[in-house]
Chain A
Amino acid sequence: MKQKLLLLLAILGFSVLSGCSTMGVNAWEKDLLAKPEMALDEQPLTDALDDHIYFSKEASSGGRAYAGGGCGCN
Protein backbone atom coordinates (compact mmCIF):
# COMPACT_ATOMS: atom_id res chain seq x y z
CA MET A 1 0.00 0.00 0.00
CA LYS A 2 2.72 2.39 1.09
CA GLN A 3 4.85 1.55 -1.96
CA LYS A 4 1.91 2.03 -4.29
CA LEU A 5 1.24 5.40 -2.74
CA LEU A 6 4.85 6.49 -3.06
CA LEU A 7 4.93 5.43 -6.72
CA LEU A 8 1.70 7.31 -7.38
CA LEU A 9 3.19 10.35 -5.67
CA ALA A 10 6.38 10.17 -7.71
CA ILE A 11 4.42 9.94 -10.97
CA LEU A 12 2.10 12.78 -9.97
CA GLY A 13 4.98 14.91 -8.75
CA PHE A 14 6.91 14.42 -11.97
CA SER A 15 3.94 15.15 -14.23
CA VAL A 16 3.00 18.23 -12.22
CA LEU A 17 6.51 19.65 -12.29
CA SER A 18 7.11 18.90 -15.96
CA GLY A 19 3.68 20.24 -16.88
CA CYS A 20 4.15 23.42 -14.88
CA SER A 21 6.90 24.87 -17.03
CA THR A 22 4.52 25.10 -19.99
CA MET A 23 1.69 26.73 -18.03
CA GLY A 24 1.26 30.23 -16.77
CA VAL A 25 0.77 33.81 -17.89
CA ASN A 26 2.75 37.04 -18.04
CA ALA A 27 2.82 39.32 -15.03
CA TRP A 28 0.44 41.82 -16.65
CA GLU A 29 -2.13 39.08 -17.23
CA LYS A 30 -2.57 38.33 -13.54
CA ASP A 31 -5.26 40.95 -12.88
CA LEU A 32 -8.02 38.38 -12.33
CA LEU A 33 -5.90 35.95 -10.33
CA ALA A 34 -4.77 38.84 -8.13
CA LYS A 35 -8.30 39.57 -6.96
CA PRO A 36 -8.62 38.81 -3.23
CA GLU A 37 -11.52 36.42 -3.86
CA MET A 38 -9.27 34.32 -6.14
CA ALA A 39 -6.68 33.75 -3.37
CA LEU A 40 -6.49 30.17 -2.14
CA ASP A 41 -6.58 31.35 1.48
CA GLU A 42 -9.28 33.95 0.91
CA GLN A 43 -11.18 33.01 4.07
CA PRO A 44 -8.73 31.66 6.67
CA LEU A 45 -11.13 31.99 9.60
CA THR A 46 -13.88 30.10 7.80
CA ASP A 47 -11.43 27.40 6.74
CA ALA A 48 -10.15 27.07 10.32
CA LEU A 49 -13.70 26.81 11.72
CA ASP A 50 -14.62 24.19 9.12
CA ASP A 51 -11.42 22.22 9.73
CA HIS A 52 -12.14 22.22 13.44
CA ILE A 53 -15.67 20.89 12.96
CA TYR A 54 -14.59 18.13 10.60
CA PHE A 55 -11.58 17.27 12.78
CA SER A 56 -14.02 16.72 15.66
CA LYS A 57 -16.53 14.64 13.71
CA GLU A 58 -14.58 12.73 11.09
CA ALA A 59 -11.60 10.36 11.21
CA SER A 60 -9.60 12.11 8.47
CA SER A 61 -8.41 15.67 8.84
CA GLY A 62 -5.99 18.16 7.34
CA GLY A 63 -4.41 17.87 3.92
CA ARG A 64 -5.51 21.26 2.60
CA ALA A 65 -3.20 23.50 4.59
CA TYR A 66 -0.91 22.21 7.24
CA ALA A 67 -2.54 21.29 10.49
CA GLY A 68 -3.12 23.65 13.33
CA GLY A 69 -3.23 22.85 17.00
CA GLY A 70 -5.01 19.82 18.33
CA CYS A 71 -7.81 19.65 20.81
CA GLY A 72 -9.52 17.06 22.95
CA CYS A 73 -12.44 16.84 20.57
CA ASN A 74 -11.17 13.84 18.67
Chain B
Amino acid sequence: MKKNLLLKSALATATLTLITGTAQAEEGQEQTTPASKEQAIGDWKFDAAFLFYSESDSRVSAIEPVFNANKRLDEEEYLNLKLTVDSLTGASPSGAVASDQPLTFTRPSGNASYTVNANQYPLDDTFKDTRVALATSWTFPVSDMTKAGLGANISKEYDYLSASINGNISYDFNNRNSTLFAGLSYAFDSIDPVGGAPIAFGRMQPVGDPQNKLSGSQDKDTLDLLVGITQVIDRESLFQFNYSYSMSDGYHNDPYKVLSVLDDQGNYFDDGIPVANVLFENRPDERTKHGLFGRYKRYIDGDILDVSYRYMTDDWEIDSHTVDLKYRFAFDNGDYLQPHVRYYTQTQADFYQPYLRQDQPLPQFASSDYRLAEYDAITLGLEYGWKSSGGNQWRMALELYNQTPTEPEKYGVLQQQTLLPDWNAVMLRVNYSF
Protein backbone atom coordinates (compact mmCIF):
# COMPACT_ATOMS: atom_id res chain seq x y z
CA MET B 1 0.00 0.00 0.00
CA LYS B 2 2.83 2.35 1.01
CA LYS B 3 4.72 1.42 -2.13
CA ASN B 4 1.62 2.23 -4.11
CA LEU B 5 1.36 5.69 -2.53
CA LEU B 6 5.03 6.33 -3.24
CA LEU B 7 4.54 5.30 -6.85
CA LYS B 8 1.51 7.57 -7.15
CA SER B 9 3.37 10.52 -5.73
CA ALA B 10 6.33 9.93 -8.06
CA LEU B 11 3.99 9.73 -11.03
CA ALA B 12 2.16 12.88 -9.95
CA THR B 13 5.46 14.75 -9.81
CA ALA B 14 6.48 13.37 -13.20
CA THR B 15 3.14 14.36 -14.68
CA LEU B 16 3.37 17.91 -13.35
CA THR B 17 6.88 18.21 -14.76
CA LEU B 18 5.47 17.09 -18.07
CA ILE B 19 2.77 19.79 -18.07
CA THR B 20 5.01 22.64 -17.03
CA GLY B 21 7.77 21.50 -19.39
CA THR B 22 5.51 21.26 -22.41
CA ALA B 23 4.62 24.57 -23.98
CA GLN B 24 2.86 22.98 -26.93
CA ALA B 25 -0.85 22.43 -27.05
CA GLU B 26 -2.40 19.06 -26.45
CA GLU B 27 -5.84 17.62 -26.78
CA GLY B 28 -8.51 15.53 -25.07
CA GLN B 29 -10.29 13.01 -27.16
CA GLU B 30 -13.02 11.75 -24.96
CA GLN B 31 -15.77 14.04 -23.88
CA THR B 32 -15.16 13.59 -20.18
CA THR B 33 -12.43 12.41 -17.91
CA PRO B 34 -12.16 8.96 -16.40
CA ALA B 35 -12.97 9.92 -12.83
CA SER B 36 -13.71 7.17 -10.39
CA LYS B 37 -16.19 7.70 -7.62
CA GLU B 38 -13.58 7.21 -4.89
CA GLN B 39 -11.24 9.88 -6.21
CA ALA B 40 -10.99 12.55 -3.47
CA ILE B 41 -10.35 16.21 -4.21
CA GLY B 42 -6.64 16.70 -4.90
CA ASP B 43 -6.09 13.02 -5.72
CA TRP B 44 -4.48 11.73 -8.85
CA LYS B 45 -5.81 8.66 -10.56
CA PHE B 46 -3.77 6.76 -13.14
CA ASP B 47 -4.72 4.47 -15.97
CA ALA B 48 -2.34 2.60 -18.20
CA ALA B 49 -3.09 0.51 -21.24
CA PHE B 50 -1.03 -1.53 -23.63
CA LEU B 51 -2.21 -2.69 -27.03
CA PHE B 52 -0.58 -5.23 -29.29
CA TYR B 53 -2.05 -5.28 -32.80
CA SER B 54 -1.06 -7.63 -35.59
CA GLU B 55 -2.48 -8.13 -39.09
CA SER B 56 -2.38 -11.34 -41.10
CA ASP B 57 0.07 -11.90 -44.01
CA SER B 58 2.82 -9.81 -42.37
CA ARG B 59 0.87 -6.63 -42.87
CA VAL B 60 0.90 -3.99 -40.15
CA SER B 61 1.77 -4.76 -36.57
CA ALA B 62 1.71 -2.19 -33.81
CA ILE B 63 2.41 -1.77 -30.14
CA GLU B 64 0.69 1.09 -28.42
CA PRO B 65 1.23 1.98 -24.76
CA VAL B 66 -1.01 4.65 -23.25
CA PHE B 67 -0.65 6.42 -19.93
CA ASN B 68 -3.38 8.60 -18.46
CA ALA B 69 -3.24 10.82 -15.37
CA ASN B 70 -6.34 12.45 -13.94
CA LYS B 71 -6.43 14.91 -11.08
CA ARG B 72 -9.58 15.89 -9.25
CA LEU B 73 -9.05 19.61 -8.69
CA ASP B 74 -12.36 20.35 -7.05
CA GLU B 75 -15.84 18.89 -6.49
CA GLU B 76 -16.58 18.75 -10.23
CA GLU B 77 -13.31 19.88 -11.72
CA TYR B 78 -10.76 17.56 -13.31
CA LEU B 79 -7.51 17.84 -15.18
CA ASN B 80 -6.63 15.02 -17.53
CA LEU B 81 -3.35 14.27 -19.27
CA LYS B 82 -2.67 11.45 -21.65
CA LEU B 83 0.41 10.20 -23.44
CA THR B 84 0.13 7.69 -26.28
CA VAL B 85 2.99 6.07 -28.17
CA ASP B 86 2.22 4.11 -31.29
CA SER B 87 4.93 2.07 -32.92
CA LEU B 88 4.15 0.53 -36.31
CA THR B 89 5.99 -1.83 -38.63
CA GLY B 90 5.05 -4.06 -41.53
CA ALA B 91 3.62 -3.81 -44.99
CA SER B 92 0.62 -1.97 -46.34
CA PRO B 93 -1.29 -2.56 -49.60
CA SER B 94 0.05 -0.10 -52.19
CA GLY B 95 -3.21 0.00 -54.15
CA ALA B 96 -1.67 -1.70 -57.21
CA VAL B 97 -3.26 -4.92 -58.52
CA ALA B 98 -1.45 -8.26 -58.71
CA SER B 99 -0.13 -9.47 -62.07
CA ASP B 100 1.06 -12.76 -63.60
CA GLN B 101 4.43 -10.99 -64.08
CA PRO B 102 6.76 -9.73 -61.34
CA LEU B 103 6.31 -6.00 -60.70
CA THR B 104 8.96 -3.44 -59.77
CA PHE B 105 8.00 -0.34 -57.78
CA THR B 106 10.05 2.66 -56.70
CA ARG B 107 10.03 3.27 -52.95
CA PRO B 108 8.42 6.55 -51.77
CA SER B 109 11.89 8.04 -51.14
CA GLY B 110 12.73 7.63 -54.85
CA ASN B 111 16.10 6.16 -53.82
CA ALA B 112 15.37 2.43 -54.01
CA SER B 113 13.00 -0.06 -55.55
CA TYR B 114 11.30 -3.31 -54.55
CA THR B 115 9.85 -6.18 -56.52
CA VAL B 116 6.56 -7.98 -55.96
CA ASN B 117 6.49 -11.58 -57.22
CA ALA B 118 4.08 -12.71 -59.92
CA ASN B 119 0.52 -13.36 -58.68
CA GLN B 120 1.24 -11.73 -55.34
CA TYR B 121 -0.85 -8.97 -53.78
CA PRO B 122 1.36 -5.82 -53.92
CA LEU B 123 2.34 -4.65 -50.44
CA ASP B 124 4.73 -1.82 -49.74
CA ASP B 125 6.95 -3.09 -46.94
CA THR B 126 8.51 0.29 -46.09
CA PHE B 127 5.82 0.94 -43.53
CA LYS B 128 7.56 1.92 -40.29
CA ASP B 129 6.61 4.77 -38.03
CA THR B 130 6.39 5.89 -34.44
CA ARG B 131 3.69 8.28 -33.33
CA VAL B 132 3.68 10.19 -30.08
CA ALA B 133 0.49 11.92 -28.97
CA LEU B 134 -0.11 14.17 -25.99
CA ALA B 135 -3.61 15.09 -24.88
CA THR B 136 -4.91 17.28 -22.13
CA SER B 137 -8.36 18.31 -21.03
CA TRP B 138 -9.83 20.35 -18.24
CA THR B 139 -13.42 19.81 -17.09
CA PHE B 140 -15.06 22.35 -14.81
CA PRO B 141 -18.52 23.41 -13.60
CA VAL B 142 -20.07 26.57 -15.04
CA SER B 143 -23.21 26.51 -12.92
CA ASP B 144 -25.17 23.99 -10.88
CA MET B 145 -26.46 22.23 -13.97
CA THR B 146 -23.82 23.14 -16.52
CA LYS B 147 -20.34 21.72 -17.04
CA ALA B 148 -17.76 22.65 -19.61
CA GLY B 149 -14.53 21.20 -20.92
CA LEU B 150 -11.55 22.47 -22.85
CA GLY B 151 -8.87 20.36 -24.44
CA ALA B 152 -5.92 20.32 -26.74
CA ASN B 153 -4.02 17.60 -28.54
CA ILE B 154 -0.83 17.15 -30.47
CA SER B 155 0.20 14.06 -32.38
CA LYS B 156 3.50 13.72 -34.21
CA GLU B 157 4.91 11.02 -36.40
CA TYR B 158 7.76 11.07 -38.91
CA ASP B 159 5.77 12.51 -41.82
CA TYR B 160 2.66 13.81 -40.07
CA LEU B 161 1.71 16.41 -37.49
CA SER B 162 -1.78 16.89 -36.12
CA ALA B 163 -2.75 19.56 -33.60
CA SER B 164 -6.25 20.28 -32.37
CA ILE B 165 -8.23 22.19 -29.80
CA ASN B 166 -11.71 21.45 -28.56
CA GLY B 167 -14.39 22.69 -26.24
CA ASN B 168 -17.63 21.24 -24.96
CA ILE B 169 -20.53 22.07 -22.72
CA SER B 170 -23.16 19.88 -21.08
CA TYR B 171 -26.38 20.80 -19.35
CA ASP B 172 -28.37 18.63 -16.92
CA PHE B 173 -32.12 19.04 -16.66
CA ASN B 174 -35.29 17.07 -15.90
CA ASN B 175 -34.14 16.30 -12.35
CA ARG B 176 -30.69 15.41 -13.76
CA ASN B 177 -32.25 12.62 -15.77
CA SER B 178 -31.41 14.31 -19.06
CA THR B 179 -28.13 15.79 -20.23
CA LEU B 180 -27.65 17.81 -23.38
CA PHE B 181 -24.15 17.90 -24.76
CA ALA B 182 -22.41 19.95 -27.45
CA GLY B 183 -18.77 19.76 -28.49
CA LEU B 184 -16.65 21.44 -31.11
CA SER B 185 -13.18 20.50 -32.27
CA TYR B 186 -10.82 22.06 -34.76
CA ALA B 187 -7.80 20.17 -36.05
CA PHE B 188 -4.90 21.24 -38.18
CA ASP B 189 -2.93 18.49 -39.91
CA SER B 190 0.30 18.84 -41.82
CA ILE B 191 1.80 16.04 -43.87
CA ASP B 192 5.32 15.99 -45.22
CA PRO B 193 5.48 12.70 -47.14
CA VAL B 194 8.73 10.79 -47.56
CA GLY B 195 10.11 11.83 -50.96
CA GLY B 196 7.52 14.63 -51.30
CA ALA B 197 3.79 14.68 -52.02
CA PRO B 198 3.07 13.05 -55.39
CA ILE B 199 1.53 15.09 -58.20
CA ALA B 200 -2.05 13.88 -58.64
CA PHE B 201 -2.12 11.06 -61.20
CA GLY B 202 1.64 11.43 -61.66
CA ARG B 203 3.33 8.35 -63.17
CA MET B 204 5.72 6.46 -60.84
CA GLN B 205 9.26 6.94 -62.15
CA PRO B 206 12.35 4.69 -61.90
CA VAL B 207 15.06 5.25 -59.27
CA GLY B 208 17.45 7.98 -60.38
CA ASP B 209 14.91 9.73 -62.60
CA PRO B 210 13.09 12.91 -61.51
CA GLN B 211 10.04 11.79 -59.50
CA ASN B 212 6.59 13.27 -59.99
CA LYS B 213 6.64 14.79 -56.50
CA LEU B 214 6.14 18.21 -54.98
CA SER B 215 8.41 19.60 -52.29
CA GLY B 216 7.07 21.04 -49.04
CA SER B 217 4.25 19.95 -46.79
CA GLN B 218 0.52 19.63 -47.42
CA ASP B 219 -2.19 20.75 -45.01
CA LYS B 220 -5.68 19.78 -43.94
CA ASP B 221 -8.17 21.51 -41.61
CA THR B 222 -10.97 19.59 -39.92
CA LEU B 223 -13.93 20.92 -38.01
CA ASP B 224 -15.95 18.46 -35.93
CA LEU B 225 -19.22 19.16 -34.20
CA LEU B 226 -21.16 16.83 -31.96
CA VAL B 227 -24.47 17.37 -30.21
CA GLY B 228 -26.08 14.73 -28.07
CA ILE B 229 -28.46 13.82 -25.33
CA THR B 230 -28.16 11.27 -22.55
CA GLN B 231 -31.40 10.18 -20.94
CA VAL B 232 -32.12 8.04 -17.89
CA ILE B 233 -35.01 5.72 -18.75
CA ASP B 234 -35.51 3.94 -15.43
CA ARG B 235 -33.50 2.74 -12.44
CA GLU B 236 -31.58 0.24 -14.58
CA SER B 237 -31.20 1.81 -17.98
CA LEU B 238 -30.23 4.87 -19.97
CA PHE B 239 -29.68 5.82 -23.58
CA GLN B 240 -27.57 8.24 -25.53
CA PHE B 241 -28.24 9.81 -28.90
CA ASN B 242 -25.73 11.89 -30.89
CA TYR B 243 -25.55 13.75 -34.14
CA SER B 244 -22.07 14.45 -35.49
CA TYR B 245 -20.88 16.63 -38.30
CA SER B 246 -17.38 16.78 -39.70
CA MET B 247 -15.97 18.94 -42.46
CA SER B 248 -12.41 18.69 -43.71
CA ASP B 249 -10.65 20.79 -46.25
CA GLY B 250 -7.21 20.31 -47.78
CA TYR B 251 -4.96 17.39 -48.65
CA HIS B 252 -6.91 14.11 -48.38
CA ASN B 253 -4.70 11.89 -50.55
CA ASP B 254 -2.71 9.00 -49.22
CA PRO B 255 0.69 9.92 -50.71
CA TYR B 256 1.82 6.28 -50.71
CA LYS B 257 -1.13 4.83 -52.62
CA VAL B 258 -1.11 4.18 -56.37
CA LEU B 259 -3.46 2.93 -59.10
CA SER B 260 -2.45 0.40 -61.77
CA VAL B 261 -2.91 1.37 -65.43
CA LEU B 262 -4.07 -1.70 -67.39
CA ASP B 263 -4.47 -2.51 -71.06
CA ASP B 264 -7.54 -4.07 -72.69
CA GLN B 265 -6.40 -7.58 -71.64
CA GLY B 266 -6.01 -6.69 -67.96
CA ASN B 267 -2.19 -6.61 -68.12
CA TYR B 268 -0.13 -3.66 -66.95
CA PHE B 269 0.02 -1.25 -69.90
CA ASP B 270 3.58 -1.22 -71.23
CA ASP B 271 4.71 2.35 -71.83
CA GLY B 272 8.42 1.45 -71.95
CA ILE B 273 9.24 2.85 -68.48
CA PRO B 274 11.01 0.11 -66.45
CA VAL B 275 8.78 0.31 -63.33
CA ALA B 276 5.18 -0.89 -63.03
CA ASN B 277 2.75 1.45 -64.76
CA VAL B 278 1.06 3.04 -61.75
CA LEU B 279 -0.24 6.55 -61.11
CA PHE B 280 -0.45 8.29 -57.74
CA GLU B 281 -4.01 8.67 -56.49
CA ASN B 282 -6.14 11.81 -56.46
CA ARG B 283 -8.97 12.39 -53.96
CA PRO B 284 -11.26 15.41 -53.60
CA ASP B 285 -9.86 18.10 -51.32
CA GLU B 286 -13.03 18.34 -49.24
CA ARG B 287 -15.12 15.91 -47.28
CA THR B 288 -18.31 16.41 -45.24
CA LYS B 289 -19.60 13.66 -42.96
CA HIS B 290 -22.81 13.28 -40.97
CA GLY B 291 -23.30 10.69 -38.26
CA LEU B 292 -26.15 9.43 -36.10
CA PHE B 293 -25.31 7.39 -33.04
CA GLY B 294 -27.56 5.70 -30.52
CA ARG B 295 -26.56 3.71 -27.48
CA TYR B 296 -28.49 1.81 -24.83
CA LYS B 297 -27.02 0.57 -21.57
CA ARG B 298 -28.87 -1.60 -19.08
CA TYR B 299 -28.04 -3.05 -15.67
CA ILE B 300 -29.36 -6.61 -15.38
CA ASP B 301 -28.88 -8.14 -11.91
CA GLY B 302 -25.23 -7.11 -11.78
CA ASP B 303 -24.60 -7.84 -15.45
CA ILE B 304 -24.52 -5.01 -17.98
CA LEU B 305 -25.81 -4.89 -21.53
CA ASP B 306 -24.23 -2.19 -23.71
CA VAL B 307 -25.47 -1.90 -27.28
CA SER B 308 -24.97 0.83 -29.86
CA TYR B 309 -25.66 1.63 -33.48
CA ARG B 310 -24.03 4.21 -35.72
CA TYR B 311 -24.99 5.40 -39.18
CA MET B 312 -22.60 7.56 -41.14
CA THR B 313 -22.89 9.16 -44.53
CA ASP B 314 -20.61 11.54 -46.40
CA ASP B 315 -20.26 13.40 -49.67
CA TRP B 316 -17.76 10.82 -50.93
CA GLU B 317 -20.90 8.61 -51.02
CA ILE B 318 -19.60 6.32 -48.29
CA ASP B 319 -22.46 5.10 -46.09
CA SER B 320 -21.70 2.89 -43.14
CA HIS B 321 -23.57 1.02 -40.43
CA THR B 322 -21.95 -0.14 -37.20
CA VAL B 323 -23.57 -2.31 -34.54
CA ASP B 324 -21.70 -2.91 -31.32
CA LEU B 325 -22.78 -5.27 -28.57
CA LYS B 326 -21.12 -5.94 -25.23
CA TYR B 327 -22.45 -8.03 -22.38
CA ARG B 328 -20.67 -7.94 -19.06
CA PHE B 329 -21.21 -11.03 -16.91
CA ALA B 330 -20.44 -10.19 -13.30
CA PHE B 331 -19.05 -12.83 -10.92
CA ASP B 332 -19.68 -12.86 -7.18
CA ASN B 333 -16.04 -11.97 -6.41
CA GLY B 334 -16.24 -8.77 -8.48
CA ASP B 335 -14.50 -10.17 -11.57
CA TYR B 336 -16.27 -9.98 -14.89
CA LEU B 337 -16.21 -11.53 -18.32
CA GLN B 338 -17.34 -9.42 -21.26
CA PRO B 339 -17.93 -10.84 -24.73
CA HIS B 340 -17.99 -8.26 -27.53
CA VAL B 341 -19.34 -8.38 -31.08
CA ARG B 342 -19.05 -5.54 -33.57
CA TYR B 343 -20.34 -5.53 -37.11
CA TYR B 344 -19.40 -2.86 -39.64
CA THR B 345 -20.38 -2.43 -43.26
CA GLN B 346 -19.62 0.35 -45.73
CA THR B 347 -20.34 1.26 -49.33
CA GLN B 348 -17.50 2.36 -51.58
CA ALA B 349 -16.46 5.96 -52.21
CA ASP B 350 -17.81 7.29 -55.50
CA PHE B 351 -14.26 7.73 -56.81
CA TYR B 352 -13.02 4.31 -55.65
CA GLN B 353 -11.52 2.39 -58.56
CA PRO B 354 -9.47 -0.79 -58.18
CA TYR B 355 -7.46 0.11 -61.32
CA LEU B 356 -7.40 2.49 -64.30
CA ARG B 357 -7.65 1.51 -67.96
CA GLN B 358 -5.37 2.97 -70.60
CA ASP B 359 -8.20 2.91 -73.17
CA GLN B 360 -10.50 4.98 -70.95
CA PRO B 361 -10.26 8.68 -70.06
CA LEU B 362 -8.77 9.56 -66.68
CA PRO B 363 -11.50 10.33 -64.13
CA GLN B 364 -11.46 13.56 -62.12
CA PHE B 365 -10.68 11.66 -58.89
CA ALA B 366 -9.61 8.09 -58.23
CA SER B 367 -8.20 6.02 -55.39
CA SER B 368 -7.75 2.27 -55.05
CA ASP B 369 -7.28 2.45 -51.27
CA TYR B 370 -8.96 -0.71 -49.91
CA ARG B 371 -10.40 1.38 -47.04
CA LEU B 372 -12.56 3.26 -49.56
CA ALA B 373 -13.91 0.03 -51.09
CA GLU B 374 -17.11 -1.80 -50.19
CA TYR B 375 -16.64 -4.31 -47.38
CA ASP B 376 -17.99 -5.83 -44.18
CA ALA B 377 -16.00 -6.27 -41.01
CA ILE B 378 -16.57 -8.26 -37.85
CA THR B 379 -14.85 -7.93 -34.50
CA LEU B 380 -15.17 -10.67 -31.87
CA GLY B 381 -13.70 -10.05 -28.48
CA LEU B 382 -13.54 -11.25 -24.92
CA GLU B 383 -12.47 -9.16 -21.96
CA TYR B 384 -11.76 -10.34 -18.44
CA GLY B 385 -11.59 -7.87 -15.56
CA TRP B 386 -10.45 -8.38 -11.99
CA LYS B 387 -9.26 -6.39 -9.01
CA SER B 388 -5.84 -6.83 -7.43
CA SER B 389 -5.55 -7.34 -3.67
CA GLY B 390 -4.90 -3.59 -3.37
CA GLY B 391 -8.21 -2.85 -5.11
CA ASN B 392 -6.73 -1.76 -8.43
CA GLN B 393 -8.54 -2.72 -11.60
CA TRP B 394 -7.00 -5.00 -14.24
CA ARG B 395 -8.54 -5.79 -17.59
CA MET B 396 -7.30 -8.06 -20.32
CA ALA B 397 -8.94 -8.39 -23.72
CA LEU B 398 -8.38 -10.40 -26.85
CA GLU B 399 -10.14 -9.28 -30.02
CA LEU B 400 -10.18 -10.65 -33.56
CA TYR B 401 -11.01 -8.44 -36.52
CA ASN B 402 -11.91 -9.69 -39.99
CA GLN B 403 -12.48 -7.52 -43.05
CA THR B 404 -14.26 -9.05 -46.06
CA PRO B 405 -14.28 -6.79 -49.12
CA THR B 406 -16.58 -7.17 -52.11
CA GLU B 407 -14.34 -8.24 -54.98
CA PRO B 408 -14.47 -5.58 -57.71
CA GLU B 409 -15.39 -6.29 -61.32
CA LYS B 410 -12.57 -7.89 -63.29
CA TYR B 411 -11.81 -8.66 -66.93
CA GLY B 412 -9.20 -10.52 -69.02
CA VAL B 413 -6.19 -11.91 -67.17
CA LEU B 414 -7.19 -9.91 -64.10
CA GLN B 415 -9.79 -12.58 -63.40
CA GLN B 416 -6.98 -14.85 -62.14
CA GLN B 417 -6.13 -12.36 -59.40
CA THR B 418 -7.78 -11.40 -56.11
CA LEU B 419 -7.94 -7.61 -56.07
CA LEU B 420 -9.15 -7.21 -52.50
CA PRO B 421 -8.19 -10.14 -50.28
CA ASP B 422 -9.84 -10.71 -46.90
CA TRP B 423 -7.60 -9.91 -43.99
CA ASN B 424 -7.58 -10.39 -40.22
CA ALA B 425 -6.06 -8.74 -37.22
CA VAL B 426 -5.46 -9.87 -33.66
CA MET B 427 -5.58 -7.36 -30.83
CA LEU B 428 -4.40 -7.99 -27.30
CA ARG B 429 -5.03 -5.29 -24.74
CA VAL B 430 -4.12 -4.94 -21.07
CA ASN B 431 -5.42 -2.11 -18.87
CA TYR B 432 -4.45 -1.23 -15.33
CA SER B 433 -6.03 1.50 -13.19
CA PHE B 434 -4.49 2.65 -9.93
Known contacts: A24-B231, A44-B34, A58-B371. The answer to whether A63 contacts B293 by CB under 8 A is: yes
Distance from B224 Cβ to chain A, minimum over Cβ atoms (Å): 5
Could you mark each residue 154-184 of chain B with 1 if its beta carbon is under 8 Å from any beta carbon of chain A, else 0?
1101011011101010000011111000011
Contact A40 B304, beta carbon cutoff 8 Å: no
CA distance A26 to B174 in the complex (A): 10
Q: Residues of B with Cβ closer than 8 Å to A?
A: 27-34, 36-37, 47-49, 51, 53, 64, 66, 68, 82, 84, 86, 88, 129, 131, 133, 135, 153-155, 157, 159-160, 162-164, 166, 168, 174-178, 183-185, 187, 189, 191, 220, 222, 224-226, 229-236, 238, 240-244, 246, 254, 289-293, 295, 297, 299, 304, 308, 310, 312-314, 316, 318, 320, 322, 328, 336, 344, 346, 349, 371-372, 377, 395, 397, 401, 403, 425, 427, 429, 431
Taking the nearest CB of chain B, how far is it from the CB of A46, in angstroms? 6
A66 to chain B: which residues have CB within 8 Å?
A: 29, 31, 166, 168, 183-185, 224-226, 244
Contact A62 B244, CB 8 Å, known A25-B232, A68-B153, A69-B162: yes
Q: Is the CB of B28 within 8 A of A68?
A: yes
Which residues of the other chain, A, contact B234 by a CB distance below 8 angstroms? Answer: 23, 25
A-B contact sample (8 more), CB < 8 A, given A19-B231, A58-B377, A70-B164: A29-B235, A30-B235, A49-B49, A53-B53, A63-B312, A64-B242, A68-B153, A74-B254
State the A residues within 8 Å of B (CB): 1-2, 5, 8-9, 12-13, 16-17, 19-21, 23-27, 29-38, 40-41, 43-49, 51-54, 57-60, 62-74
The 8 closest A-B pairs by CB, nearest first: A68-B29, A24-B177, A72-B160, A63-B291, A69-B153, A60-B320, A70-B162, A66-B183
Who on chain A is nearest to B291 by CB? A63
Instruction: Pick 21 A–B contacts, CB within 8 A, sort by A.
Output: A16-B231, A16-B241, A23-B234, A24-B175, A24-B233, A33-B236, A33-B238, A36-B36, A37-B304, A49-B66, A53-B425, A60-B312, A62-B224, A63-B244, A63-B292, A65-B30, A66-B183, A67-B187, A69-B163, A70-B189, A72-B157
Q: Which of A5, A12, A16, A68 contacts B27 (CB 8 A)?
A: A68
- Decide: A68 and B174 in contact? CB cutoff 8 A: no
Q: Chain A residues near B403 (CB, 8 Å)?
A: 57
CA distance A33 to B295 in the complex (A): 15
A2: which B residues are within 8 A, CB to CB?
290
